[in-house]
Structure 1
Amino acid sequence: YATGHRKGVDAQGCGPGMWINSELIHFAIRNGFRVAMNGMLFATGNWKSYMVRLHRESCEMMGEKCATTMVVLLSPALLVSYPCLDEIFEGLENKMEFIVLRCDHISSSTKEWWPLPDKKRRDMKQRHAFMLKRKTVVDFLAQENTIPPPGETILTAPS
């Protein structure tokens, strides 16, 4: 998830995405699902520890369980969060199952999703690596069915 931090409203690192994420975790636990891991469990600056848990081979080498399902909270904040791009890409690379929840209305123009960062524009190798990763994730999300379908969000859809 991406927090969607609102300047002057939310504490640093917080936002509506964090609230939705928390609600989903509580819902899953109340309904008997195990939630073994979540990006919120890792302290700021320890994001790479979370990424290791998405990589099946690393988990096997450590004797740890690897994440098997990723819930993506589709929102405008997600589509500009480079860490979220990396997480989704890692999940795709490791053949995870995905549940994509539409949390907000998003641009249908995929050109606006994860723009090429200025620092990656200068180096051709970095630029190509970024664009290949971005293409994989954008192609996946653009064709993936969401809950609810376009036109509604999990906050506006009738129950």
Structure 2
Amino acid sequence: MTRTLFLAAIALLTACASGEPEHADCQGSFRIEPGFTEAQVFSIKAAGLRWNAFLGRDHFKVSEDEGMCPIYPATIASPEALTKQGMARSADYTPATGEIRIDAANMKSPDGPWFEAIVMHELGHSIDHEHVETGIMASTDKTLTLDFSDEDRAECRRVGICS
């Protein structure tokens, strides 16, 4: 575990030193940090499983014990991390570190389907998916579904992770 984190840090530092864009490669491996409720942990894991079913393979590995990149509750993340362009956000993915931060306390529903949809959306960003008009990757103020849309499928093909 420690060796894996050390190697991931070395790879990130090497990429930064070489002038390559800052983008952590979590390889679909995420560690759920303490601070989430039991229902939220279940939803985070379910989000990874839904992506795996959509992708047709086990890409996402989400666990409380190990993982290359963390999923933090906002209470642990810095408050400014969930503010972009002066707007409060319920969740965010940071490409440079691979971190996902979730502010469940400020969501319409801090657990259940809404929470799971937000986590699925942020996991999508971790595999380079951009926003679409409808579906999981619709901007977070529109993410109200657990179903992938045709636009999500097209985005998946665009980044080369789906066939």
* TM-score, reference length from structure 2: 0.30
More strand by share: 2
| Higher Cα radius of gyration | 1
More helix by share: 1
